[in-house]
Amino acid sequence: MRYGLDFGTTNTTVAIERDNTCEVLPIGANRRPIIPSLIFFPEFGGELMIGQNAIDGYLNSGMNGRLMQSIKSFLPDKNFKGTTVGGQLGYATLEKLISVILSFVKKQADAYVGEQVSEVIIGRPALFSPDPERDALAEARIVNAAHQAGFEEVYVQKEPIAAAFEYERRISGEEIAFIADFGGGTSDFTIMRLGPDHVDKTDRSSDILGVDGVYVGGNNFDSSIMWRRLIKYFGSEIEYKDWDKWLPMPRHLMQDLCRWQRITFLKDRKTREFVKHLLRTSNDAEPIERLIALIEENLGFSLFQTIEKAKHNLSSDMDTQLAFNQSGIVINECISRPEFEELTNTHITKIGSCIDQLLVTSGLAADQIDSFFVTGGTSYIPAVQKVLTDTFGAMKIRTGDAFISVAAGLALSRHNII
Ligand SMILES: Nc1ncnc2c1ncn2[C@@H]1O[C@H](COP(=O)(O)OP(=O)(O)OP(=O)(O)O)[C@@H](O)[C@H]1O
Ligand SMILES: [Mg+2]
């Protein structure tokens, strides 16, 4: 038996193939097939927690300790070798952090299938990085993490190709399909020739007409809400005095607020001292007090959960109220869908360009594509859907379960095809 393992930036899922059909395994709380890709390290040691338990542990501890998310997005980063997490692990390499999640997932899955499965096919984005060296580093790291998690045989498959295999099981004739997977960290695409007659071929390389991807995912949409609508609450508009000069708030500090995992790094001594200096010298103390509360009380995760919820609401509603009230940080922002679309427009443009570019490099025109299969949580954003319908027409769009098709397709993959 072999697992198909989709270690996502936001969510992780596992599937197996049995009797030519695919089963997604109930590895999560209440037998859910999905776990959030998160680890929580309690402040004073104690057992680390994974997935939904990590969120619960973090909130129950009064947000003391370190909650790590989007670990996958560090994979191509040469400079991020590891971090001090305290407790059982002390210092942990990036591979170790990922292996902790993968071994948790393996344990849940092994318990469900009733055997120790030693073979895995794990997903990777179409492009970890445009720099081939970083791309290779990221893939080597994920393979290494899978070995550390106890898998003996590890294969890698591109996530959009996996999604194509899942879609292929549901069609009755041959199609040239454009597959798009819009996740939390990346948007990945492939154009493939699919059909029931192709399923049993062991070498599918001639069916792959193109693969590409872009480092744009749901996290970027969250960051844009923070950047455009919320950083004013934390001092982006203040000035502070340095000797006899008035200076603006440093941009890099505000940029760090836009990725909540980075907010925890702002607790270092240098930043703390600088923020104290801001409090003494700024022309408006109130936002700096909020900034201090955000950093010192580890409120980044809660704030980003609120942001993410507002984003989700905007997929179905035309406007939403982004309301946050903790430790003196009171935020009330009404965001309409057109405003959201305006402030995230650069992401949509990048996605659209990558799709156009893939058509060009594959030598295909949009009208030569028979179907467009779309998956991943970010595909719920109406502006993302609009890029697709504008290019391919609404009639060609096909959907499945946005959160499990990659794992299912990985389980259905033969390992010699990328
Ligand atoms: N209704 C919704 N509207 C908008 N975005 C949504 C919705 N539901 C989920 N998302 C977003 O989808 C993203 C997660 O999707 P998914 O689980 O497919 O990503 P992933 O597989 O973990 O990431 P990746 O494939 O990039 O590594 C998150 O950014 C989440 O906020
Ligand atoms: Mg994904």
Residue 367, in any domain of the structure: no
Can you give the pLDDT at residue 64?
Answer: 84
Can you give the pLDDT at residue 83?
Answer: 82
What's the one-letter identity of residue 170?
Answer: R
Atom of ligand 1 nearest to the CA of 311: 4
Residue 412, in any domain of the structure: no
Cα gap 160→2, rounded to integer Å: 19
Could you tell me which residues are beta bridge partners of residue 372? Answer: 178, 397
Mean pLDDT of the chain: 94
Q: Does residue 378's CB lie within 6 angstroms of at least one atom of ligand 1?
A: yes
Least confident of 185-199, 208-222, 260-274, 356-370: 260-274
Residue 187, in any domain of the structure: no
Asked if pLDDT for residue 89 goes beyond 80, the answer is no
Can you give the pLDDT at residue 416?
Answer: 57
Q: Does residue 315's CB lie within 6 angstroms of at least one atom of ligand 1?
A: yes
Residue nearest ligand 1's atom 24 by CA:
183
Residue nearest ligand 1's atom 10 by CA:
377
Q: Does residue 377's CB lie within 6 angstroms of at least one atom of ligand 1?
A: yes
What are the structure tokens assigned to 232, written together?
């004013």
Can you give the pLDDT at residue 415?
Answer: 63
Q: Rounded to the nearest whole angstrom, what is the distance from the C-alpha of residue 37 to the centroid of ligand 2?
A: 11
CB atoms within 10 A of CB 239: 16
- Region 280-289: mean pLDDT is 97
Can you give the pLDDT at residue 259?
Answer: 87
Q: Does residue 213's CB lie within 6 angstroms of at least one atom of ligand 1?
A: no
- Region 245-249: mean pLDDT is 96
- Region 48-52: mean pLDDT is 95
Cα gap 163→190, rounded to integer Å: 9
Residue 256, in any domain of the structure: no
Q: Cα-flanking dihedrals φ and ψ of residue 201, to 5°?
A: -65, 135
- Best probe residue, ligand 1, of 129, 378, 381, 405 (max atoms within 8 Å of C-beta): 378
Q: Rounded to the nearest whole angstrom, what is the distance from the C-alpha of residue 358 to the centroid of ligand 2?
A: 19
Residue nearest ligand 1's atom 9 by CA:
377
Atom of ligand 1 nearest to the CA of 73: 27
Atom of ligand 1 nearest to the CA of 218: 29
Cα gap 250→43, rounded to integer Å: 29
Asked if pLDDT for residue 414 goes beyond 80, the answer is no
Can you give the pLDDT at residue 295?
Answer: 93
Tens digits of per-residue pLDDT, 339-376?
Answer: 999 999 999 999 999 999 999 999 999 999 999 999 99
- Region 188-215: mean pLDDT is 94
Could you tell me which residues are beta bridge partners of residue 335? Answer: 320
Residue 175, in any domain of the structure: no
Asked if pLDDT for residue 36 goes beyond 80, the answer is yes
Confidence of residue 176 (pLDDT cuts 50, 70, 90): very high
Structural domains of the chain, count: 1
- Best probe residue, ligand 1, of 5, 7, 10 (max atoms within 8 Å of C-beta): 10
Cα gap 112→107, rounded to integer Å: 9
Q: Mark the residues whose beta carbon lies below 5 A from ion ligand 2.
A: 8, 183
Give 25's DSSP letter: -
Can you give the pLDDT at residue 401?
Answer: 92
Residue 45, in any domain of the structure: yes
- Region 201-223: mean pLDDT is 94
Q: Which ligand is nearest to the CA of 218?
A: 1
Tens digits of per-residue pLDDT, 256-267?
Answer: 999 877 887 888
Can you give the pLDDT at residue 45?
Answer: 76
Residues in the chain: 418
Asked if pLDDT for residue 318 goes beyond 70, the answer is yes
Cα gap 380→385, rounded to integer Å: 7
CATH code of the domain in which 131 resides: 3.30.420.40
pTM (predicted TM-score): 0.95
Q: Does residue 308's CB lie within 6 angstroms of at least one atom of ligand 1?
A: yes
Tens digits of per-residue pLDDT, 90-133?
Answer: 788 999 999 999 999 999 999 999 999 999 999 999 999 999 99
Which structural domain, as residue segments, surrounds residue 103? 2-159
Confidence of residue 417 (pLDDT cuts 50, 70, 90): low
Atom of ligand 1 nearest to the CA of 376: 18
Q: Rounded to the nearest whole angstrom, what is the distance from the C-alpha of residue 11 to the centroid of ligand 1?
A: 8
Cα gap 265→144, rounded to integer Å: 26
Residue 353, in any domain of the structure: no
Asked if pLDDT for residue 292 goes beyond 60, the answer is yes
Cα gap 261→258, rounded to integer Å: 9
Residue 16, in any domain of the structure: yes
Atom of ligand 1 nearest to the CA of 12: 22
Cα gap 208→82, rounded to integer Å: 36
Q: Rounded to the nearest whole angstrom, what is the distance from the C-alpha of residue 137 to the centroid of ligand 1?
A: 24
